Amino acid sequence: MQASDALGATAVLDAIDGGVIVIDDAERVAGWNRWMEVASGFAEAQVLGRTLAEIFAGVDLKRLPAAIRAALGSGGSAIITHALNPALLPLQTRSQRPLFHDITVSPAGSAQASRCLVFISDVTMATKRERFLRLRQNARYDAVVARAADVILTVDDAGVVQFINAAGVSQFGYPETELLGRAAVEMFQTRDAWIANWRSALEGSPFSQPVELIAQRKDGSASYLEASASRWSSGTRTFVTVILRDINQRRATDAALRELNQTLEERVQQRTAQLMKAEETLRQSQKMEAIGNLTGGIAHDFNNLLHIIGANLHLLKRDVAGNEPAQLRVQRALDGVARSAKLSSQLLAFARQQPLDPRVIHVEGFIRDMDDMLRKAVGDGITIDMVLDAGLWNTLVDPGNVENALLNLAINARDAMEGRGRLKIEASNVNLDADYARANPEVMPGQYVLLAVTDTGTGMTAEVLQQAFDPFFTTKPDGRGTGLGLSMVYGFVKQSGGHIKIDSIVGQGTCIRIYLPRSLQAEDHLVEVDATPVAGGSEMVLVAEDDDSVRDAVVAMFNDLGYRVLKARDAQSALTIIESGMPIDLLFTDVVMPGPLQSTELARKARERMPHLAVLFTSGYSQNALAPGGRLAAEVELLSKPYSREALARKVRHVLTSAAERRSRA
């Protein structure tokens, strides 16, 4: 440095470990120390009198010229850092490496001769160390933070986002530049929770356990996050770094699990209810079965006894002919027998053990024929509406029982309406599908003819409904109901392969629906058997009956009617008689008898030997002996016990006539 000096300033400046450039008031270099010569590669002689822009031609000097002008013009000082202006001047270290430097510009000299001092300090070491540290730190940092699946968010003490990692950018849906500098609270729906937790972390109490926050994404959607946070400081600044874990998946899984649990409970409840219903249905059907067996058994024995009583009374009536008081008493006793017989037949009906005589009928015409009878039964105070669909299917039922059932229901309805109201009788075709059958386990899916009888009466409570079909259960005052009406209807419908259902609302009325199975056969023509006159005959009758009293009574009746009679105490004996070759016109046999041979088998074998033999069964009940389900095959003739002399006479005549017709056709 050649600046004029007597004080040895040149030597001093050259000794400084830093660049010193003196600039004169024309912005030209007036001094250039040794350090500058080495770092720039320009000797002082090369640069004196030139501006920095001339010396470093082609180099962007940025603020430096302006700073020099300010120093010269108004005494300003400036600092130009390497950090913000890296490698501003093309300087090199002694080993020809880039030399990082800070520059300060200060006014120097006096008011007369303005000067400016540019000082350049070497920050290479510090910069390299920083750079090395940063690279090392960044490598670790990147590994942990940039690739983290969790959101890592750093917020300053004003709550402003200063850093967010890649996971955060994708979580919130904003570009990074929109997130940085944003108030973090704006990124959450749970603002209060965010503020409370951020503050608590800022004050040095990190979250004791993860806190759940709801973020608001750029698209407005919510996202559930679990936050943990801690604070850290850099110099005077304090930051809170928050780790946000996406728990949407976990929440969704939890919710699904919860829902599954809930529906599981529901399903268990549903199944339990179904089970309870099924159990109740089973209990009910077991009860009906048990009562049915009991009543059926009693009625059967009772019928045999009645038959003995009735048959003997008939005979006695003839014996006392001419004795009018005696005849009157016998007649009263016979009336009693008739009423008793009715009662036991009702019991059998309920027990599904009555002998049915099913015919293929078309209920529409059948019901219309009942119109008069029904109106008489219910009385004037009750209007009857008949709604009978056209094109009803045929059904195979015992017509007498259908009539009985409708009559019973109409009478029940009348009583429930206390003589005033509206009775609706409907008939329609219905399909009971598998779903309905599942809900009503006793129902077979299929096609049915529905008869519905609806009243506007008092209705039934649930308790009454439970017992409605029980025999002898009645809600009517003493003496007005037998408690057998609905029981009979129930037994008959069940025995006919049908289904019965009661719907009732207390105070509004009751609807009873009877579903009778559809028959694909053509309608039978009903024959009024009872209309044939009472007539005897002289044919040979073989009576097979195990009960001595019954046998004696029936033999007496046959004799009385003019028939010739052979007797057997069981089926085997009867067969022996038939095989002996005796000419026999009619086999009259009890259905159920002790012994190895069943009566049906007896009838079959007898017919083998005598194809034109007439067969008439008699029974207290049918059970399954004659046909499965207790329904008679069309060709089987049955006379139910107890029977009157007239009934016996008509039936026997009818059977013999039919046999004679078959014989003449053959």
Partner 1 sequence: MTDQTMVSLSPLELDALTELVNLGVGNAAVGLREMVKEEVLLSVPKVAILTRQQAIENLGEGAVKRLVAVHQNFDGDIRGRALLMFPEAQSMELVRAVVGGDLSLDDLIELEQEALAETGNILLNGCLSTLANSFGRTLRVSLPEVVHGDGSEFFNLTSWPRADDGVLFIYINFALRRGDIQGYLAMLLDLPSLVTLKELLASYIVSIGGATTTSATNAS
Q: In whole angstroms, how close is the CB of 159 to partner 1 at the nearest point? A: 8
Under the criterion CB under 8 A, does residue 204 sit at the interface with partner 1? no
Distance between CA atoms of 258 and 265, rounded to whole angstroms? 11
Under the criterion CB under 8 A, does residue 10 sit at the interface with partner 1? no
DSSP readout, 266-290? Answer: HHHHHHHHHHHHHHHHHHHHHHHHH
Among 14, 27, 157, 426, binds partner 1 (CB under 8 A): 157
Nearer to partner 1 by Cβ, of 4 and 236: the residue is 236
Among 28, 42, 76, 481, binds partner 1 (CB under 8 A): 76
Q: In whole angstroms, how close is the CB of 182 to partner 1 at the nearest point? A: 7
Under the criterion CB under 8 A, does residue 53 sit at the interface with partner 1? no
What distance lies between CA 155 and its chain's CA centroid?
51
Q: In whole angstroms, how close is the CB of 70 to partner 1 at the nearest point? A: 5
Task: Please tell me the count of residues contacting partner 1 according to CB under 8 A.
Answer: 42
DSSP, collapsed to helix, strand or coil, labels residue 238 as strand
Q: Which residues have CB under 8 Å from 363's CB, separation 6+?
A: 388, 392, 395, 402, 427, 449, 451, 516
Residues 127-156 that bind partner 1 (CB under 8 A): 130, 134, 137-138, 141, 154, 156
Distance between CA atoms of 642 and 304, rounded to whole angstroms? 7
Under the criterion CB under 8 A, does residue 62 sit at the interface with partner 1? yes
Residues 205-224 that bind partner 1 (CB under 8 A): none
Under the criterion CB under 8 A, does residue 182 sit at the interface with partner 1? yes
Nearer to partner 1 by Cβ, of 163 and 436: the residue is 163
Under the criterion CB under 8 A, does residue 461 sit at the interface with partner 1? no
Closest C-alpha to 151, from 247, 248, 250, 244: 244
Choose one: 177-185, 359-367, 406-414, 490-498; the region binding partner 1 (CB under 8 A): 177-185
Q: In whole angstroms, how close is the CB of 205 to partner 1 at the nearest point? A: 21
Among 234, 249, 580, 664, binds partner 1 (CB under 8 A): 234
DSSP label of 392: P
* Torsional sign, CA 508, 514, 518, 522: negative
Nearer to partner 1 by Cβ, of 241 and 466: the residue is 241
Distance between CA atoms of 37 and 46, rounded to whole angstroms? 10
Under the criterion CB under 8 A, does residue 317 sit at the interface with partner 1? no
Q: In whole angstroms, how close is the CB of 247 to partner 1 at the nearest point? A: 26
Nearer to partner 1 by Cβ, of 186 and 279: the residue is 186
What CA–CA distances, in Å, run from 256 to 226, 264, 359? Answer: 19, 12, 60
Choose one: 178-186, 380-388, 470-478, 651-659; the region binding partner 1 (CB under 8 A): 178-186
Among 97, 128, 218, 237, binds partner 1 (CB under 8 A): 237
Distance between CA atoms of 456 and 465, rounded to whole angstroms? 16
Q: How many CA atoms lie within 13 A of 227 on its CB side?
A: 27
Among 2, 46, 77, 383, binds partner 1 (CB under 8 A): 77
Q: In whole angstroms, how close is the CB of 85 to partner 1 at the nearest point? A: 8
Under the criterion CB under 8 A, does residue 123 sit at the interface with partner 1? no
Distance between CA atoms of 634 and 27, rounded to whole angstroms? 138
Helix, strand, coil share (%) of the chain residues, nearest 5: 45, 25, 30
Cis previous bond, 642, omega within 30: yes
Q: In whole angstroms, how close is the CB of 136 to partner 1 at the nearest point? A: 12
Distance between CA atoms of 44 and 10, rounded to whole angstroms? 12
Q: Which residues have CB under 8 Å from 254's CB, separation 6+?
A: none
Q: In whole angstroms, how close is the CB of 199 to partner 1 at the nearest point? A: 14
Q: Which residue has the tokens 């004659």?
A: 626
DSSP label of 471: T
Q: Which residues have CB under 8 Å from 569's CB, separation 6+?
A: 544, 545, 546, 548, 551
Taking the CA atoms of the chain, what radius of gyration do you get in angstroms?
Answer: 58
Distance between CA atoms of 483 and 468, rounded to whole angstroms? 9
Under the criterion CB under 8 A, does residue 531 sit at the interface with partner 1? no
Q: In whole angstroms, how close is the CB of 254 to partner 1 at the nearest point? A: 35
Residues 241-260 that bind partner 1 (CB under 8 A): none
Under the criterion CB under 8 A, does residue 90 sit at the interface with partner 1? no
> Phi, psi at residue 435, to the nearest 5°?
-65, -45
Among 121, 162, 189, 200, binds partner 1 (CB under 8 A): 162
> Phi, psi at residue 567, to the nearest 5°?
-120, 145
Q: In whole angstroms, how close is the CB of 110 to partner 1 at the nearest point? A: 10
| Interaction site with partner 1 (CB under 8 A) | 62-63, 66-67, 70, 73-81, 83-85, 104, 106-107, 111, 130, 134, 137-138, 141, 154, 156-158, 160, 162-163, 177, 180-182, 234-237, 239
